[in-house]
Amino acid sequence: MIVPIKYNLRNLFQRKLRTILTILGIAGSIAIFIAVMAFSEGMVKSFKKTGSEDNIVVIQKGAFSQSLSSIPKSSRNVIQYLPHIKKLNGIELVSPEVSIEPWVSVPSKGLNDIFMMVRGVKPIFFDVVNKIRISDSKELRNNHAIIGRLAQHKLGSVQVGDQIKIFDEMWTINGVFEAEGSSFESLIIVDIDDLLRASNREEYSSYTVKVDSLNNIDSLIKLIEDDRRFLLSAIPEIEYYTESGMLFNIVRTVGIAIGIIISIGSIFGGMNTMYTSIANRIREIGTLRAIGFSRVSILISFIIESLIIALIGGMLGILVGYFVNGTKMNLLMSNFELRVTYKVMLTGLFLSFVIGFFGGLLPARQASKLKIIDAIKHV
């Protein structure tokens, strides 16, 4: 026979202040946990979503990233005529790119020296990297730029028609684009030759190449890496961006560790509440036992009570934590939005379950072990 849940619910209302404080404590921990998870989720997602399965990134052999890689322009003739490259209207889908991280100023907003990622591209870029959605003009020549949604935020919400300053030259914003939440949304995209001139560079940084069939990816990579004329590395695009994201793993690790430690603190808090709650009800427990409820029913009953508190706290915490959803964060190459996804919310709920279960387990065990006589005698 199970102790009716009504009994537990009534108990919670009996000790309102204590119940509310425990719920608030758990809600706070879960809210902190949701915030750090949303941070980690947003950061990882933005990198994982970047790239297409049939694209590969070609960089200087051994280079850490596109912006630390330089490849002579003449390599384009070599790459372009390799087999297995997809063609569109007879043109090979090979996009040479220059990646630089310059200080950018927005004179109209009085903003100076903002760390941005700028990519110089040719028009073919938009056929190779086909995630970029833009309703405005894609025209880049003569110092025009298009900027990603997150870049726009970092640049103080500049608008189409505004001017920004990169390498002492003024660039007019022609459009704002979205890229399915990928890290491309942090980019300022300009014409490759304009950028080479403005930055006094002569070499490309990388190529993005579209393969004609997924089966040929490995052979194309091998052909590029085996070429003796230029020392190059080729990496599937998705893998490249996922690895770039690993640079910030430490920030995630610390965040998640903090969330977990605070939740453990919460378990102790919950346990304390349940112990007191039980200590105050010893005679009641004796009575319950005397009228026929088994030890197991008592155990289950108290765990359920603790779970109710924890889950209410958890849901409240998720609700509060949800407010961080969509907050934009800037961290060098990693600009992203905090994302309270279903996964994050479910993890939060699961954690509150864990808090409730373990917070209730030991006290409930103690309650179920009481001898009827002792319990009823207790004053």
Partner 1 sequence: MKFLPFIMKNIFRNKKHMILSVSALAMPVFVILLLLSIEEGFKTLINSTDELILNTYEKGNACVVSSRIFDSYKKKIEAFDGIKKVTGVLRDLFTYQKMDNTVFLTGVNYDEFKTIKKINIIDGSEDNFKKNSDGALVGKRLVNQYGWKVGQRVSMIQYNVDFLINGIFESTDKTYEGNVLVHKEYLSQKRNEEGKSTYFIIQVENASMISPISNQIDSLFANFPKPTKTQSEKDSKENELRDFQEIRKMLSILIFATIIVSIFVATNNISMALRERIVEIGTMRSIGFSKRQIFFIFITESLLLAIIGTIIGMSIAVAILITGRSLSGYIPLVINSILLVKTLSIAILIGFLGGLFPMISAARLSIVNSLKIID
DSSP string, 117-179: EEEEE-TTHHHHSTT-EESS----TTTEEEEEHHHHHHTTS--TT-EEEETTEEEEEEEEEE-
For residue 294, the minimal CB distance to partner 1 (Å) is 24
Question: What does residue 264 show for φ and ψ, rounded to 5 degrees?
Answer: -65, -40
Nearer to partner 1, 319 or 329 (CB): 329
Nearer to partner 1, 175 or 313 (CB): 313
For residue 79, the minimal CB distance to partner 1 (Å) is 20
For residue 132, the minimal CB distance to partner 1 (Å) is 23
Nearer to partner 1, 39 or 302 (CB): 39
For residue 88, the minimal CB distance to partner 1 (Å) is 32
CA distance 164 to 104: 7
For residue 375, the minimal CB distance to partner 1 (Å) is 12
Q: Which residues bind partner 1 (CB under 8 A)?
A: 17-18, 21-22, 24-25, 28-29, 31-32, 35-36, 39, 61-64, 67-68, 100-104, 113, 115-116, 166-168, 199-200, 243, 246-247, 249-251, 254, 258, 261-262, 264-266, 268-269, 271-273, 275-276, 279-280, 283, 329-332, 379
Measured over the CA atoms of residue 133, residue 139, residue 141 and residue 145, the dihedral's sign is negative
Nearer to partner 1, 65 or 216 (CB): 65
Question: What does residue 85 show for φ and ψ, rounded to 5 degrees?
Answer: -95, 135
CA distance 345 to 31: 10
Amino acid at the residue 304: I
Nearer to partner 1, 63 or 134 (CB): 63
The strand pairing partners of 328, in sequence order, are 337
For residue 63, the minimal CB distance to partner 1 (Å) is 7
Nearer to partner 1, 63 or 300 (CB): 63
CA distance 142 to 176: 17
Give the 3-state secondary structure of residue 231: coil
For residue 350, the minimal CB distance to partner 1 (Å) is 19
CA distance 142 to 326: 34
Nearer to partner 1, 91 or 264 (CB): 264
Q: Please state whether 89 falls in left (phi above 0), alpha (psi between -120 and 50) or beta.
A: left
Residue with tokens 């409240």: 316
Question: What does residue 102 show for φ and ψ, rounded to 5 degrees?
Answer: -95, 170
